[in-house]
């Protein structure tokens, strides 16, 4: 048997790993299905802050609230995911304004609206990738980056 140099050893490992730890079909299928969530004609609000981001070194402890901020030109969407008791998602539009709000999470879609101060709440929020769509009074549509909550 010939000697296994580094490249051949890596090839061998690669072949073994691809057989022993294949991508589960349900994972690939979910990836294909992701495309059905595509939003058209919406401005993307990018994630600009996440208290669970690894670059934000926080105090380790029983902190049950996660803060996330998304930003698109002219609007910010501030969101808190609270896990004390009932899991809920509380948001604030900046600048404050009235808008309809849609939450996509765990395969379901829920509609809500902000109050006059731009605040909104969703209760009993599941876990999984989540996305918020905001449609402002002047008809502008903003969609956030997906975030795993």
Phi, psi for residue 103 in degrees, rounded to 5 = -115, 125
Build a one-symbol-per-residue string for 44-83: x at contacts with other proteins by CB under 8 A, - elsewhere: x-----x-xxx-----xxxxx-x----------------x
Contact region with other proteins (CB under 8 A), list: 33-41, 88-96, 110-118, 134-142? 33-41
Q: Is 86 in the site for other proteins (CB under 8 A)?
A: no
Q: Is 37 in the site for other proteins (CB under 8 A)?
A: yes
Q: Is 110 in the site for other proteins (CB under 8 A)?
A: no
* Residues in contact with 11: Cβ distance below 8 Å, sequence separation at least 6, in sequence order: none
Q: Choose between 25 and 124: whose C-beta lies nearer to other proteins.
A: 25
Contact region with other proteins (CB under 8 A), list: 21-29, 69-77, 93-101, 112-120? 21-29
43-81 core/surface letters (b: 16 or more CB in 10 A; e: else):
eebeeeebeeeeeeeeeeeeeeebebbbbbeebbbbbeb
* Dist CA 102 CA 100 (whole Å): 7
Phi, psi for residue 20 in degrees, rounded to 5 = -85, -25
The residue within the footprint of other proteins, chosen from 76, 78, 121, 146 (CB under 8 A), is: 146
Contact region with other proteins (CB under 8 A), list: 7-15, 70-78, 86-94, 132-140? 7-15
Q: Choose between 3 and 138: whose C-beta lies nearer to other proteins.
A: 3
Q: Helix H segments across the chain?
A: 6-20, 25-33
């Amino acid at each position: 048997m010939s000697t296994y140099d580094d490249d051949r050893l890596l090839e061998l490992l690669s072949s073994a790993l691809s057989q022993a730890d294949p991508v589960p079909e349900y994972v690939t299928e979910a990836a294909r299905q992701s495309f059905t969530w595509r939003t058209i004609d919406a401005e993307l609000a990018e994630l600009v802050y996440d208290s669970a981001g690894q670059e934000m070194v926080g105090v380790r402890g029983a902190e049950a609230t996660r803060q996330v901020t998304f930003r698109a030109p002219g609007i910010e969407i501030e969101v808190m995911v609270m896990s004390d008791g009932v899991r809920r998602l509380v948001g604030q539009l900046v600048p404050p304004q009235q808008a309809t709000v849609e939450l996509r999470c765990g395969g379901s879609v829920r509609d809500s609206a902000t109050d006059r101060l731009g605040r909104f709440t969703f209760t009993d929020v599941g876990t999984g990738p989540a996305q918020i769509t905001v449609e402002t009074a002047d008809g502008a549509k903003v969609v956030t980056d997906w975030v795993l909550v």
